[in-house]
Structures are given as structure tokens and as C-alpha cells.
Structure 1
């Protein structure tokens, strides 16, 4: 998103309104508004579900996709803040950053699991991170020993949830993101004011609701 700032500034200089969506653009006031998932709230829901799965106590860790993007920061912080505020019996023992790369995330998750053999859960903050965690759990023979919660979807993550390897995940709503982005653009063109941030829908999905039409429409494979 940082790479787009010079182009957005050109648009601004030409009096062309810029509408951002999805990850947003940190440290830029050029976009009139940003249509995106409330990643802090969504990650808090992931934390709530994991806490319930492990009985509101134990040790958990995070494999995040990065610590620089808006989504990476907010998903990490939303998860951490929920656990600290609502589940004092849960301790976050490690946070690692794998760049969203499944292979790197696998290695990081394996290191975490080896350092904390009694770990109760790991949160992967995007598809690549979550798949890395699943791979690590399988490679170390820890299937069923801990709760794995992810973010986004993709065929591997969907299969892991259906098979029981993962507890569940958060899915964004790409249809709503697109709709709200276009709606905001039309409003701005017509001279109407829009809020600086438009929060779009997100959902928790697991084995119990993954086949519901409302959930299916938000998942990609």
C-alpha cells in the first residue's frame, strides 16, 4: 500500500478523489475514505473463539503476517488486547512474523511448538500464516493437541477446518468491501460526505457453519 502513495498524490493534485479499500494506506491522508474490515474487532472475535475452545486458560501464540501493514498490526493487537482484557487466564507466550509465507510460517510455528510443548493455541493472522501453523502441527504430530485459529480462507484452510485440524477462522466479506467502495465513490462524486472509515462485514466460520450460504459467499478457494 505504501507504494501507491505517489500515484494517489498525483490523483489528488488532479482533483480526483481517492477511495481506498481492504488493507488501507497507513500514514496517508489522501484517501477520502477507506472501506475495510475492522481488523481489530475481527481478531478479537478470533481470540474470543479460541479462548472458549481452550477453556479460557492456557498458553497461546501468534504467527502474524507482518508488523508494518495496517491489517497485520490491527489483527495482532486486536487478538492480544482481547486476551488481556477478557481472559486473564490465557497467556500469550510468543509472537512471530512470517511475512504471510506458508513455508516461513511453518518453520516459525514449529519453533514455537518446540519451545512451548504444552501450547494450547496458535492464531495465524492471514491465510499463509494459518496454513504454516497447520503444516507445523501436522509435521510435529500434534493434531488435536491445540486450537488453531486462522484468518481469511483458501482451499487449504477450508479443508483444515472441515477435517478438524483447525478450530475455525475469520473471513472477510469481499463482496461487501467492493460494494461499499463503489458506493462511497459514487457518493463522493455526487458531492456527498462520507466517513473516513467504512467498516465492512466479517464472519467467524468453523465446521458447524462453513456450508451456510452466507458463509460460502464470502469464501475463496
Structure 2
């Protein structure tokens, strides 16, 4: 055998051995590492539902998500939590459109604006995908159901609380999360209607925080600079009351200015214990998330659901807080 033949033969044997080694390694990888991943992908869910929120990292919506996930786990549903990182109605609309394009079984979202959300929801429902609005309704759309706070009533409750808790002239400033969002408009309107017959109560300013801590603080500071006569605030979103309170504490006016906020985030409850925030409107975000998923399952399965489900709403003051209790509320089913 020639030297050239021997070299070719040797190279062939080496190539065969290397190929065998890679084959054995690949089989090992598949058997010992990849199969668990395949089993996970084969995990069965009854339905695929998307919860689209106005702002992913908003503390209030994280509680809604927690409730939705609890229901999803109980009923074997795949739940996705999606939306813009910061409040942006256009990005939220795009997220809903993408969810519909992926042919999910149902979409839960807020109906923030009649102008943009009514035609959007109608298009999604026309594709055979049921839509439930949560927290904020778009009643003129073809959404299948709404679950959440009666937002007009919640604002009305806040106005009645201010009447009950104050004496003498009350010069009120309102900081609202959004001028365009239906639920914020309704909260402001409810508050205004509650106090309009009271000659001692005057609404001095209504400003927008854009669901932003920084903006809420800026607006509170601006109001106190431009309207030193203001001695009461109403914050219509979860973050507004907290930031109003921080600014009021900075001016050391917590004993002179009445603040009523919204929701029961830990910071809000802490500020109530300190006496800076005098009252807050209590919603049930966990209940909203849990109930929305349960309603969606019923809809998908052809069961009848109530078109409007209002979750509990009430006013909470320091006297309503349990002694030595962690500052966490609204997370129970």
C-alpha cells in the first residue's frame, strides 16, 4: 500500500472516530438535558388569555396580575401579562392588536379611551376573540363584559368623605392620572358632583399626572406655589396621593392640608398611619384580576356572564386600619 493510501486511510479513520464522538455527545445532550425542556413545551393549557395593562410595572396592576395568575393556575389557563413599560395608549393599542393577531383565546384589557378603544375592541371581537374590560370600561364597544370599580361612584365616595372629614372652607385641587382615560374622567366627575352643592367647597385646579410619580409631585408642587390657598387634595390614581403627600410633607403642611387618595398600596397605608393622607378609596385589584380570568373562561365555554360586575369600593381611614397589621391590603380573593 502506498504512503498516500495509508495517509488517506488514517485520515478516514480519524474522521469516523470524531464523528462518532460528536454523535455520542449529541445523544447525551438530548437524553440528559433537552428532554425536560421538551416536556415543558408540551405542557397542556386549556386556554391562552392575555391581560393587557396600561403600564407593566405599575404597583396597582401588579396586584391585578397576581389575582389573574391565581385564577389561571387554578383553572389551567396560560396567562400572559403584557403592555407598555410606561403608560402609553398607542403602545397599549399595538399590544392588543398583536395579541389578537396571535389568535389568543381571550383578551382582558382597560377601555381607556372611547375614541381609540371602541373601534379596536369591535375589530377584535369581530375576529371571534372575546374581550373583557377590567378596571376601566368602554361601554359603547362590543366588549363582552366589564369587571372593576364603579369609577363614578368611587369619585362620589371620595367627595362625600371630604365633606364629612372637613370643616370650613375647603379649597380643593385634584390631581388625576389622565385627562383622556375614561375611569379618571368618571372619578373626577363623581367627586365634582358630590361636592357641588357645598358652598364651602371650591375646586381650585385639576391637573394631570400622566400616571407618573414625577409628574404628580411636580403638579402638587406647582399647585401649592400658584395656589397657596389650597388646603385639600384629591388624587385619583394610586400614585397621585402618595406624591401629593410627599410634597405636602416637604412643605411641612401635613396638619393643614387634607389629602384623600386612591388605592391601598403599602406607601399609601403608611402615610395614612402617619396622618399625612387622611383617607383613601379602596378598590379590589386582586379581585378584579381573579374575576376577569374566571369570567373569560366562562365566556370561552359558552356560559352566560353578567355584562357588568362592580367590585367592592369603600373609604378607608386610619381608624379602619388594624393594629400591628402589615401595610398590605387588596390582595385577597
TM-score, reference length from structure 1: 0.86
- The aligned counterpart of 1:69 is 181
Where does 1:1-221 land on structure 2 (aligned, <5 Å)?
3=93, 6=97, 7=100, 8=121, 11-24=124-137, 26=138, 29-55=141-167, 57-85=169-197, 87-211=198-322, 217-218=329-330
Give the aligned length: 217
Give unmatched runs, 5+ long, in structure 2.
1-53, 55-88, 101-120
Instruction: Indicate if the aligned counterparts of 1:120 and 1:146 stay in contact, CA closer than 8 A.
Output: yes
Q: CA deviation at 1:146?
A: 1.2
**Counterparts of 2:297 and 2:96, CA distance in 1:** 22
Higher RCO structure, 1 or 2 (CA under 8 Å, sep 6+): 1
Q: CA deviation at 1:176?
A: 2.5
Segments ≥4 residues shifted beyond 4 Å: 8-11
Instruction: Indicate if the aligned counterparts of 2:172 and 2:203 stay in contact, CA closer than 8 A.
Output: yes
Instruction: Indicate if the aligned counterparts of 2:264 and 2:328 stay in contact, CA closer than 8 A.
Output: no
Match of 2:158, SS state, is helix
Instruction: Indicate if the aligned counterparts of 1:147 and 1:166 stay in contact, CA closer than 8 A.
Output: yes
Provide the aligned C-alpha RMSD in A.
2.6
Instruction: Indicate if the aligned counterparts of 1:61 and 1:93 stay in contact, CA closer than 8 A.
Output: yes
Q: CA deviation at 1:141?
A: 1.8
Q: Residue 217 and residue 58 in structure 1: after superposition, are their counterparts in 2 closer, same or farther (change >3 A)?
A: closer
**Counterparts of 2:127 and 2:211, CA distance in 1:** 35
Instruction: Indicate if the aligned counterparts of 1:38 and 1:199 stay in contact, CA closer than 8 A.
Output: yes
Q: Residue 161 and residue 219 in structure 1: after superposition, are their counterparts in 2 closer, same or farther (change >3 A)?
A: farther
**Counterparts of 1:187 and 1:89, CA distance in 2:** 49
**Counterparts of 2:208 and 2:275, CA distance in 1:** 25
**Counterparts of 2:255 and 2:247, CA distance in 1:** 12
**Counterparts of 2:303 and 2:236, CA distance in 1:** 35
**Counterparts of 1:219 and 1:138, CA distance in 2:** 28
**Counterparts of 2:298 and 2:168, CA distance in 1:** 45
Match of 1:208, SS state, is helix
Deviations 1:146-168 (A, max 9, x none): 11010012222111101001101
Compare the two structures and name the one with the higher helix fraction.
2
**Counterparts of 2:123 and 2:283, CA distance in 1:** 30
Q: CA deviation at 1:179?
A: 3.9
